[in-house]
Structure 1
Amino acid sequence: MDIRPWLPLALALTLTGTPAQAAARQPDTCGGSALRDHPPAVNFRVDNDLFGGHHQDQGYTNGAMLTFVSPNLVDYTDDPCLPAPARWINRHLERLQPGGFDQQNMIFSVGQGLFTPTDSTRADLVEDDRPYAGVLLANFGYNARIGDRLRTTQLAVGMVGPSAQGKQVQDAVHSVLHDEKFRGWKNQLHDEPVFRLLQERMRRWPANNAAGWGWDAISHWGGAVGNLATYANGGGEVRFGWQLPDDFGSSPMRPAGENTAPTRGARLPGWSGHLFATTDARWVLRDITLDGNTFRRGHSVDKRALVGDIGYGVALMRGKWKFALARYHRSREFEGQKERPVFGSFTISRTL
């Protein structure tokens, strides 16, 4: 068995533990009403272009991410709700951590994304279509909230290329589904360490939590720098439903979306659910999955500088569980792209 795909997850669990384990290790100093009102959580998200429709196995073809969310924290370096190794790491990343806010929490995630051209049957280099690419990432995130505003900062580090195990994962999934395997993975991007430093700011209107039927809107703007991706972006999300959550968005693709932002007060009892629609526009300076390797010559395409997403979905919550299903439509990302990308996302979340 090849153990490389499991190394980031094993490292994450070794260094930080799960939020439940972190709280359990400090029973005298971590807990009480604050922990009950703002418990840790774990999210698992799957993206796939097959959710977008028939014959959509192309572009951003598949992704998966496992995310651990801390409870609301006193601070990032001394709070006993974080295990000692996580506090040690945070002391070395203090410049990334915002200050002067009412509430704050931390996330840690590991994930993988796969990118392929349209024609799965060609084993040669498809020069007029996007490169084959697998991306494996570990992500540290810091969220800070004051009233109806949120600032999120995230640092992602990982690998693109054969070591990201894109071919192996896609072949395994296609074998289970009895689908044809893509033949051109030998042309994928070369191994390269990657990083991305991302920051977004969000604002929610209205700021109060709805006890019955209600709506809200969340704006966002920010950007990212790194050899993985460099861009500036902005957009928004609107939601309508029963007992809207007191957070900053339900889109699983947003950096502080889907049950990861600090909350105020306990979750309301019984069933709750809502519809949401989201937009995002990006001015892209670099995208390694389109521009190719940074330090080696290889396959690339002429990317478009302006890219937009429109998404819509539904979220349901009861007790400790939350489910979200979304679908996204993206504008063409490079010159000569035959179809506009369409993909879906499913997220399951549980507070601990």
Structure 2
Amino acid sequence: MLYSAHNGSTFNLASMNSCHRILQAVALPFAFMATIAAAADPAVEDVGYIALMIENDNFGGHPDRHYTGGLRLDWMPKRQPSVLGFAGLMQRLMPDPEGSDSRVYFSLGQDMHTPRRIRTTELVTDDTPYAGWLYVTMGRMLNTPKYNDRFSLSLGVIGPASLAGKLQVQWHDWFKLTTPEGWATN
């Protein structure tokens, strides 16, 4: 067990090890695919990328509160598509200076927010409400020797349609954590 001096909470190392094993099981296939893609053609300098980000306040031993966790899958293809004229619109909004590299990227993500008291089924009015956001993003990154700019458009759903409650309850079940009881109030 670890003890957190700032709030007196304890954190079980066994569940942290379980988290690491699951993260490795998820991350290693993506790393392997990127390695295979890069090795397939040695002349290819840029294969694009796929990234998976998993955030959870429990990784640091903190209790659920405010932004409690999220998932995001990013994809930046090697070949830059012109998606529904999006690349052309982005070009007009963010012209490419000479010597720059611009890339279109896509993301699928989910964010979750909870109050501190997750054991109550009552609406908590004096703290962060239960909230979720499930979204897709299409954006453009512009890299120059002096600066990096990013412009994106995100569309998504909030509330029960975000499935944040179901995911957080499942996550807590997998890692034997306290079940959040208040998602019905969202």
Distance 2:46 2:108 in 1: 22
Identity over aligned pairs, percent: 27
Which digits, 9 at most, give the CA deviation of each residue in 1:134-165, with x for residues without a partner? 11010111011222212111111101110000
The structure in which a higher percent of residues are strand is 1
The within-5 A match list for 1:238-253 is none
The within-5 A match list for 1:215-230 is none
Match in the other structure for 2:176:
178
Distance 2:158 2:171 in 1: 20
The within-5 A match list for 1:4-23 is none
| C-alpha displacement of 1:94 | 3.9
Distance 1:42 1:91 in 2: 20
Distance 1:176 1:32 in 2: 41
Does the 8 Å CA contact 2:101/2:144 hold for their aligned counterparts? Answer: yes
Choose from 60, 68, 83 the match for 1:52: 60
Which digits, 9 at most, give the CA deviation of each residue in 1:9-47, with x for residues without a partner? xxxxxxxxxxx9xx9xxxxxxx995xx222211000000
Distance 1:177 1:100 in 2: 47
1:123 and 1:92, CA in 2 relative to 1: closer, same or farther beyond 3 A?
farther
Choose from 132, 137, 143 the match for 1:145: 143
Choose from 69, 73, 76 the match for 1:66: 73
Match in the other structure for 2:83:
87
| C-alpha displacement of 1:92 | 7.1
Does the 8 Å CA contact 1:141/1:155 hold for their aligned counterparts? Answer: yes
Q: Does 1:99 align with 2:95?
A: yes
| C-alpha displacement of 1:61 | 0.9
1:91 and 1:45, CA in 2 relative to 1: closer, same or farther beyond 3 A?
closer
Amino acid at match of 2:183: W
Match in the other structure for 1:110:
108
1:56 and 1:65, CA in 2 relative to 1: closer, same or farther beyond 3 A?
same
Does the 8 Å CA contact 2:132/2:163 hold for their aligned counterparts? Answer: yes
| C-alpha displacement of 1:120 | 1.2
**When the two structures are superposed, what TM-score results if normalisation uses the length of structure 2?**
0.70
Which digits, 9 at most, give the CA deviation of each residue in 1:299-330, with x for residues without a partner? xxxxxxxxxxxxxxxxxxxxxxxxxxxxxxxx
The structure in which a higher percent of residues are helix is 2
Match in the other structure for 1:10:
none
RMSD: 2.4
Does the 8 Å CA contact 1:115/1:134 hold for their aligned counterparts? Answer: yes
1:105 and 1:116, CA in 2 relative to 1: closer, same or farther beyond 3 A?
same
| C-alpha displacement of 1:82 | 3.4
The 3-state SS of whatever aligns with 2:96 is: coil
Does the 8 Å CA contact 1:96/1:153 hold for their aligned counterparts? Answer: no
Does the 8 Å CA contact 1:97/1:142 hold for their aligned counterparts? Answer: no
Amino acid at match of 1:82: Q
Amino acid at match of 1:100: D
Does the 8 Å CA contact 1:68/1:109 hold for their aligned counterparts? Answer: yes
Distance 1:113 1:32 in 2: 38
**When the two structures are superposed, what TM-score results if normalisation uses the length of structure 1?**
0.38
Distance 1:61 1:159 in 2: 18
Match in the other structure for 2:48:
40
Does the 8 Å CA contact 2:71/2:109 hold for their aligned counterparts? Answer: yes
Does the 8 Å CA contact 2:56/2:70 hold for their aligned counterparts? Answer: yes
1:177 and 1:123, CA in 2 relative to 1: closer, same or farther beyond 3 A?
same
Does the 8 Å CA contact 1:65/1:112 hold for their aligned counterparts? Answer: yes
5+ residue gaps in structure 2? 1-33
